[in-house]
DNA sequence: TTGTACGCGTTATCAG
DNA sequence: CTGATAACGCGTACAA
């Protein structure tokens, strides 16, 4: 592999000049520049990036920590990050945490060892104190994460108001017994979605029937199981708000096992608007998160940090949208009942 | 940030010794080793990986090229790769090609610039000559890709026999008019699946009705559109083999639009066994690819290449499996008709 | 505008 | 078993 000195020799200049042609072409006279470029071409020279990174103590690489890449929600955010990163000359290192806390800690080592210039964490599980500690030393951005006392830039939607909107939709369709299966309650995001649900019921003067509120963890299985269990009881909901589409599908399938029709006997609203939401039968009414955009935005914020620019605000809430399809019954009535 | 020389000074040894403690501890006397480790601990020293990578001309990083990370099929393979990589001290750089050929070419630059030690390509679009050319210079492995004349190690399932199996299943359920919507025919993988379909029909003495064979490209949309079109014609299939689950779902939804019952009026077999295959209504009969394992295996092969070990064979075909669920009708008949 | 010369932090070589 | 020292290839003061 030819090195810079080879180019320099062939072009009859010094390595300094070759380096300048590569990094700051305007500082070189046109004639010499051409000679150098010609030599580069002739030798098919490629700069040794390892040497460059070492010399400049930067890697042009960012780390993306994902709880689980197989989850389409995360995959789509990663897609947005990658797009924005590569557009700006950055590469994306992917690490699956498999929801192991120690793998999140491990990523700190990565930063310390200068293996990456910065990091984006999706749904981190680390406590806020630790996150703040890392953030004070390295450029990091959070995605799909809310913070109690935000000090680190993060990208999210407003989980309270979106859940409120979803629940309200069901209430305005006439439902009095609206159930909810939560995500894991150690996650602030789940608590926020739960909060929006409760707020909506309260605002519309409906009591919260704690028997209709169950604990799950976003998954299809937890939706199915909790719903099966709920339907085995003596009083059942006429509508359910689920904090993920996967869970909504689990709920619907459980209801079908009990010979319930969707949406006539049970209305369901999901969350995320995954690709599959519109393909399912019935198609899911759901809250659409702009996942790809959230990925892009996280990377934009990280880029600012990497470039030393200041970030005015820490909360970056992107607009969500209630997508009305067939699982809630609004479309069955010929026209929407409200809005 | 403390450097190796700081550790050396504190421990009263040379940098060479510190380096040895880190990389080849057995070559250092226990006493000195302890002194050094103590100093490392006291200074909270972290080796500068950039310097190490530069010095050793290796990055402990591999590149994974994905057509589209949002596709669950690829995401799952990536999951397997990442797991195996991190288990062996390698990091995974993720690049989305968005099916742009130039991004595949770009990855070659990456290798040339020594930014990564090797590469795994998922469903590459580059021609075999180019792939062979790259492979002769750098360690690469292919996944979900078949080759006309295999010279590069690749991991796949046997697409011909699995498609044969899927089609045969439909035939043995009594279907005479078995349709097929293909993937893009510039992909060898699609051609193989098409080949298995045709072979099965031929072996069972059934004519291939070219009107029942349509061109698609794995997507839900192409399945839906082609099926809608097919159902608008005067003669229609009683069963369809789809080369992806997404497409199978599109086909089913199109059939439902035409008031057809699945599987009574139309039996469908899909491919991939994506997570949603079992959640869908009806649940999909499909060919299960061991995607995660395929990812792991690709990484194992790449590790061998990186370690200079020889790889005996180039074709690594993993076992697939026909998963019988509700979309084909076999289960409706009380018991399987065959097996 | 260009060249010289040094340093980045680690590892490998070689001598002791 | 340990130490001194020379690379690795590039970027950048500083000098010309």
The per-residue pLDDT for A201 is 97
Please say whether the beta carbons of B314 and B150 come within 8 A. yes
Across the range B10-28, mean pLDDT stands at 92
Among B residues 162-181, those touching chain A with beta carbons less than 8 Å apart: none
Partners of A40 in beta bridges: none
Min CA distance, B112 vs chain A (Å)?
7
Q: How far apart are CA A198 and CA B289, in angstroms?
A: 43
Determine the average pLDDT of the residues in B301-323. 94
* Chain A, nearest residue to B112 by Cα: A46
Which of the 8 DSSP states describes residue B161? H
List Cβ neighbours of B159 (8 Å cut-off, separation of 6 or more): B146, B189, B192, B193, B196
Residues 55-114 of B with CB under 7 A from strand C: 55-56
Q: Which of residues 35-74 of A touch strand C (CB under 7 A)?
A: 54-55
pLDDT of the residue at B338: 45
Question: Tell me: the pLDDT tens digits for A25-66?
Answer: 888 999 999 999 999 999 999 999 999 999 999 999 999 999
Nearest nucleotide, C1' to the C-alpha of B2?
A: C9
Mutation to test the A interface, candidates B93, B96, B220, B270, most A Cβ within 10 Å: B96
Please list, in sequence order, all residues whose beta carbon lies within 8 angstroms of the beta carbon of residue B112, skipping any fewer than 6 positions away. A1, A46
**Where in the sequence of chain A do the CATH 3.40.50.2300 domains occur?**
59-156+292-308, 159-288+322-333
User: Considering only CB atoms, which chain A residues are within 8 Å of B94?
Assistant: 64, 78, 82, 92-94
Q: Is A101 on the interface with B (CB under 8 A)?
A: no
Measured distance CA(B291)–CA(B272) in Å, rounded: 8
> Which residue in A319, A251, A320 sits closest to A280, CA to CA?
A251
Asked if residue B52 keeps its beta carbon closer than 7 A to nucleic acid strand C, the reply is: yes
Phi, psi of A21 (to 5 degrees): -55, -40
CATH assignment of A159-288+322-333? 3.40.50.2300
| Predicted pLDDT at B335 | 45
Q: Which residues contact B210 (CB under 8 A, 6 or more apart)?
A: none
- Rounded distance between C-alpha atoms, residue A176 and residue A194, angstroms: 17
Q: Are B86 and A95 a contacting pair at CB < 8 A?
A: yes
The two tokens of residue A192 are: 């926020």
Q: Is the pLDDT confidence value at B101 over 70?
A: yes
Asked whether residue B332 carries a pLDDT value surpassing 90, the answer given is: no
A215 in helix, strand or coil? strand
Residue showing tokens 């992806």: B244
Look up the CATH number of domain B4-54.
Answer: 1.10.260.40
- Two tokens, residue B110: 């990456």
pLDDT value at B334 more than 60: no
CA atoms of A269 and A167, how far apart (whole Å): 8
> Looking at residues B178-196, what average pLDDT do you find?
95
**Angle (CA) B312 B317 B320, round 5°:** 155
pLDDT-based confidence at residue B333 (cuts at 50, 70, 90): low
Quick one: pLDDT at residue A298? 98
Contact between B93 and A61 under an 8 Å Cβ cutoff? The reply is yes
Task: In whole angstroms, give the CA distance from residue A171 to residue A336.
Answer: 13
Give pLDDT, residue B115. 92
Whether CB of A132 is under 7 Å from strand C: the answer is no
Residue A230: predicted pLDDT: 94
pLDDT of residue A335: 45
CATH 1.10.260.40 in chain B: give the residue spans: 4-54
Both tokens of B217, joined, read: 């490209």
Residue A268 forms beta bridges with which residues? A240
Where in A125-238 does DSSP place strands (E)? 140-143, 154-157, 178-182, 213-215
- Other beta carbons within 10 angstroms of residue A236's beta carbon come to 19
Cβ contacts of B330 within 8 Å, gap of 6 or more: B169, B173, B285, B324, B336, B337
Classify domain A59-156+292-308 at the CATH topology level. Rossmann fold (3.40.50)
Q: Name A39's Cβ contacts closer than 8 Å, sequence gap at least 6.
A: A7, A8, A10, A11, A18, A45
**B329 alpha carbon, distance to own chain's centre:** 29
pLDDT of B146 = 78
**Residues present in chain B in total:** 339
Give the residue ranges of chain A where pLDDT is below 50: 334-339
Which of the nucleotides lies closest to A14 (Cα–C1')? C3
* pLDDT per position as a tens digit, B26-79: 889 999 999 999 999 999 999 999 999 999 999 999 999 999 999 999 999 999
| CB-neighbour burial class of residue B229 (10 A; exposed 0-12, middle 13-18, buried 19+) | exposed
User: What's the pLDDT score for residue B277?
Assistant: 96
pLDDT band at B331 (very low <50, low <70, confident <90, very high): confident
Specify whether the backbone of B273 is left (phi greater than 0), alpha (psi in -120 to 50) or beta: left
Whole-number Å distance between alpha carbons of A81 and A326: 32
For B160-182, what is the mean pLDDT? Answer: 97
User: Which positions of strand C lie within 7 Å of protein CB atoms?
Assistant: 1-5, 7-13
Between chains, do A70 and B275 touch, taking CB under 8 Å as contact?
yes
Cβ separation A113–B49 shorter than 8 A: yes
pLDDT bracket for residue B117 (50, 70, 90): very high
pLDDT digits (tens, 9 = 90+) for A95-138: 999 989 999 999 999 999 889 999 999 999 999 999 999 999 99
Helix (H) or strand (E) holding B247: helix B245-257
Q: In this predicted structure, what is the pLDDT of residue B41?
A: 95
What is the spatial distance between Cα A4 and Cα A206, in angstroms, rounded to a whole number?
Answer: 74
Residue B179 reports pLDDT greater than 90? yes
| Pairwise CA distance, residues A65 & A100, whole Å | 11
Q: What is the pLDDT of residues B230-255, one digit of tens each?
A: 999 888 999 999 999 999 999 999 99
* Nearest by Cα to A286 from A321, A334, A247, A331: A321
């Amino acid at each position: 592999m030819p090195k810079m000195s080879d180019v320099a020799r062939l072009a009859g200049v010094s390595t300094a000049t070759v380096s300048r042609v590569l990094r700051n072409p305007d500082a070189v006279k046109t004639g010499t520049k051409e000679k150098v470029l010609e030599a580069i071409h002739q030798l098919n020279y490629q700069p040794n990036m390892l040497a460059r990174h070492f010399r400049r103590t930067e890697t042009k690489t960012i780390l993306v920590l994902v709880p689980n890449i197989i989850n389409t929600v995360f995959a789509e955010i990663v897609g947005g990050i990658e797009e924005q990163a590569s557009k700006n000359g950055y590469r994306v290192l992917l690490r699956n945490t498999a929801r192991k806390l120690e793998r999140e800690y491990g990523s700190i080592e990565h930063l310390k060892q200068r293996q990456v210039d910065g990091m984006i964490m999706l749904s981190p599980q680390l406590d806020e104190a630790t996150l703040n500690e890392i953030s004070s030393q390295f450029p990091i951005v959070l995605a799909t994460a809310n913070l109690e006392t935000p000090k680190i830039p993060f990208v999210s939607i407003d989980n309270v108001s979106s859940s409120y909107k979803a629940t309200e939709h069901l209430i305005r369709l006439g439902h009095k017994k609206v159930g909810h299966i939560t995500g894991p309650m150690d996650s602030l995001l789940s608590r926020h979605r739960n909060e929006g649900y409760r707020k909506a019921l309260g605002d519309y003067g409906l009591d919260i029937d704690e028997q209709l509120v169950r604990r799950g963890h976003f998954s299809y299985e937890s939706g199915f199981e909790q719903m099966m269990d709920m339907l085995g009881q003596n009083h059942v909901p006429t509508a359910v708000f689920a904090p993920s589409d996967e869970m909504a599908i689990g709920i619907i399938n459980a209801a079908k096992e009990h010979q319930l029709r969707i949406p006539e006997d049970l209305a369901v609203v999901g969350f995320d608007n995954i690709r599959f939401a519109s393909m399912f039968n019935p198609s899911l009414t759901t809250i659409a998160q702009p996942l790809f955009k959230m990925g892009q935005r996280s990377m934009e914020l990280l880029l600012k940090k990497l470039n030393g620019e200041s970030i005015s605000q820490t909360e970056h809430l992107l607009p969500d949208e209630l997508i009305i399809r067939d699982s809630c019954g609004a479309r069955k009535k010929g026209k929407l009942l409200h809005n």
